[in-house]
Amino acid sequence: MNLTGLIHFFVFPGLLFAVPAAWFYVWGERKAVARMQRRIGPPLLQPFYDFVKLTGKRTPSRHGIEADLLRLWPAISVLSMIGAIAMLPVFPSGRGFSGDAVLLVALLELPSICFILAGFTSGSIYGEIGAIREAVLSVANNLVFLLSIVTIAVTEKTFSLTDMAGGSWNPGHWIGVFGILLCIPAKLRLNPFSTSSAEQEIYSGPLTEYAGAALAMWELAHGLEWVALTGFVATLVMPAGGPWWFHAVFFVVVSFAQVLLLSTLAAATARFTLQRAIRFYWRWAAILAVLDVSAAIYMRYRG
């Protein structure tokens, strides 16, 4: 890894930017939903306070492989998310490699897999139910998510993130972005796709048995998921030209606009049952995605 890669991983858009941004986005979501419900909402530093408070908690001790695994899953999630954020082509520098979009998709999916594994590892019945729900929902939304990325890739004739980014005027590109936007609520476990962590039914789902520093890592991983997914969409719609600071500002503004949009959706909707969530993705969204990817492939070989 060269110096630029290290800067991307540790400074911007990686660790140094991503962690405060994660707390800021989580605060933005909580604050926006609170205002929509006529509450004041948390202060700006509340997610940071929560993190610090959780890391200082004494937790019930577990022993053996189970304890190690329960600590491992959130650590993998945090690292994969920082890796995914560092890969985002915020600046059109031509870095990256051919096919790095596939690696990004894999990294974006790791927290969901870890979330499922955490539920089964915890041994809690609520954790297992939440893990099953997350697994089913993941299969449902990933069909549309992957087809949307394939649509953009076919439209732009590449699987390189740098080439896929840059706000092409091709309709297939924008329909693909719309498809990704449709999947983000499910990937972030927001209403109406919050069945896997439905606190009124199964407490926190897979995180029911978590406490202290491990739970703090999960909260951080969730915030980083916000940064990665909204940042991914922001890079896909980012204009190609302009100075470096414009790209940085555009990246943050568009990401935060998505946070507000998704918060409005979460505040306006009730939780879907698992069947309704699957029906939404596999019937309506999948039809749209299949038609879109078919049209993109047809257009490519036609012209």
User: Binding to another protein by residue 53, rule CB under 8 A?
Assistant: no
Give least dist CB 280 to another protein, A. 17
Closest separation between CB of residue 284 and another protein, Å? Answer: 18
Which CB sits closer to another protein, 103 or 265?
265
Least spacing, CB of residue 48 vs another protein, in Å:
18
Return all residues near 18 (Cβ < 8 A) that are at least 6 apart.
81, 82, 85, 224, 227, 228
**Residues near 262 by Cβ (< 8 Å), separated by ≥ 6?**
29, 184, 185, 188, 190, 230
Considering the rule CB under 8 A, would residue 264 count as an interface residue with another protein? yes
Q: Does 40 bind another protein (CB under 8 A)?
A: yes
Size of the site for another protein (CB under 8 A): 12
Which residue, 118, 301, 280, is CA-closest to 214? 118
The residue (of 33 and 175) whose beta carbon lies closer to another protein is: 33
Calpha distance 179→157 (Å, rounded): 18
Q: Does 253 interact with another protein (rule: CB under 8 A)?
A: no
Q: Could you tell me if 164 and 236 are in contact, meaning their C-beta atoms sit under 8 angstroms apart?
A: yes
Q: Which stretch binds another protein (CB under 8 A): 38-46, 129-137, 141-149, 223-231?
A: 38-46
Element (H, E) at 68: helix 65-87
- Phi/psi for 114 (5° steps) reads -65, -35
Tell me the closest approach of the beta carbon of residue 34 to another protein, in angstroms: 7
36 lines the binding site for another protein (CB under 8 A): yes
**Residues 6+ positions from 22 with CB-CB distance below 8 Å:** 47, 220, 222, 223, 224, 226, 227
Q: Would you say 43 or 239 has its CB closer to another protein?
A: 43
Site for another protein in 265-284 (CB under 8 A): 267-269
| Residue 94 neighbours by CB under 8 Å, 6+ apart | 162
* 261 touches another protein by CB under 8 A: no
* Position among 11, 39, 45, 99 found at the interface with another protein (CB under 8 A): 39
Q: Is residue 59 close enough to count as binding another protein by CB under 8 A?
A: no
Q: Which spans of this chain sit near another protein (rule: CB under 8 A)?
A: 34-41, 264, 267-269
